[in-house]
Amino acid sequence: MRKQIAAANWKMNCTFQQGEKLLDDILSAEIELASHQLAIFAVPYPYLLMTRSEVEEEQNYYVAAQNCHDKKFGAYTGEVSAAMLHSMNVNYCVIGHSERREYNGETNAMLADKVNLCFENFITPLFCCGEPLNIREAGTQNDYVAVQLKESLFHLPADKIKNIVIAYEPIWAIGTGKTASTEQAQEIHQYLRSVIAGQYGEAVANEIPILYGGSVKANNAKELFSCADVDGGLVGGASLVAADFIEIIKALK
């Protein structure tokens, strides 16, 4: 079975102590994950080592960075490279979150470079795509997300892209409490998979987990994750409340 993933994106929230407690509370629920199920915590850079040491005893729990730089190394004060993450045994990295696209001017071309650097450093990218409200209202969301995939991912060979994780996060659903309906989610996830299949074939497309993100909550996760092409979620707000994220992990197929 394709991997099913509950990924927490803490964004710029929690002090170190609050983060430790949140992880302790979630891990003390001792949810046993099946071999195809993963829980991933995308935490601020200064918490990577703490989080890694919290999860490393647990089966199928992982730490992720929320970003990496698009250059290998050099005079980029304040930035963190994929090689640095690899040297800290961080195996996942969120790439191209809409907040970074919007506030940090990240382009599809820069994200292609970041994805390459992740793969060079044995890091699985959690690649985010998703349309703003005006595109959804115009009904052109499929073309919009297809361009995001093509320009950032389709230079990859099949044996690399098959290891990626995609997160579809409609911008109008992020932090708004407005979730895509199960029909909307299934429709665009299926479309994304068909675009990948068109480029790389069905077998590759069927291996890639496509997560949904945007106001995933404890009370809607099960319904969203039950869609055939929704392979879990990338969760912001609800990942900061232990009881809620526990329910979201339990909602995985």
248 binds ligand 13P (CB under 6 A): no
Kindly determine how many residues on this chain lie close enough to bind ligand 13P according to the rule CB under 6 A.
Answer: 14
234 binds ligand 13P (CB under 6 A): yes
Cβ nearer to ligand 13P, comparing 146 with 171: 171
Query: How far, in Å, are 14, 124, 126, 136, 237 from residue 11 at the CA level?
Result: 9, 19, 14, 25, 9
Cβ nearer to ligand 13P, comparing 80 with 235: 235
**Least distance CB 117 / ligand 13P (angstroms):** 21
- Around Cβ 52, how many Cβ atoms within 10 Å? 17
Six token digits for residue 191: 């479309």
Cβ nearer to ligand 13P, comparing 69 with 100: 100
The C-alpha R_g of the chain, in whole angstroms, comes to 17
Cβ nearer to ligand 13P, comparing 229 with 244: 244
Binding mask 194-213 for ligand 13P (x = CB under 6 A): -------------------x
Known catalytic residue at 189: no
Contact 95, 114 (CB under 8 A): yes
Give the Cα separation of 224 and 184 in Å (integer): 10
Give the Cα separation of 217 and 228 in Å (integer): 19
Cβ nearer to ligand 13P, comparing 152 with 200: 152
CB proximity list for 116: less than 8 A, separation 6 or greater: 156
Choices 28-36, 150-158, 189-197, 229-237; region in contact with ligand 13P by CB under 6 A: 229-237
Range 147-186, binding ligand 13P (CB under 6 A): 169, 174-175
Q: SS3 breakdown of the chain: % helix, strand, coil, rounded to 5?
A: 45, 15, 40
**Least distance CB 168 / ligand 13P (angstroms):** 11
Q: How far does the chain reach from its first CA to its final CA, in angstroms?
A: 10
Amino acid at 126: L
235 binds ligand 13P (CB under 6 A): yes
Known catalytic residue at 169: yes
Q: Which one is catalytic: 54, 69, 86, 97?
A: 97
Query: How far, in Å, are 53, 58, 77, 233 from residue 128 at the CA level?
Result: 26, 26, 25, 11
43 binds ligand 13P (CB under 6 A): no
Binding mask 100-139 for ligand 13P (x = CB under 6 A): ----------------------------------------
Q: Which residues are catalytic?
A: 97, 169
Which positions touch ligand 13P (CB under 6 A)? 9, 97, 169, 174-175, 213-216, 234-238
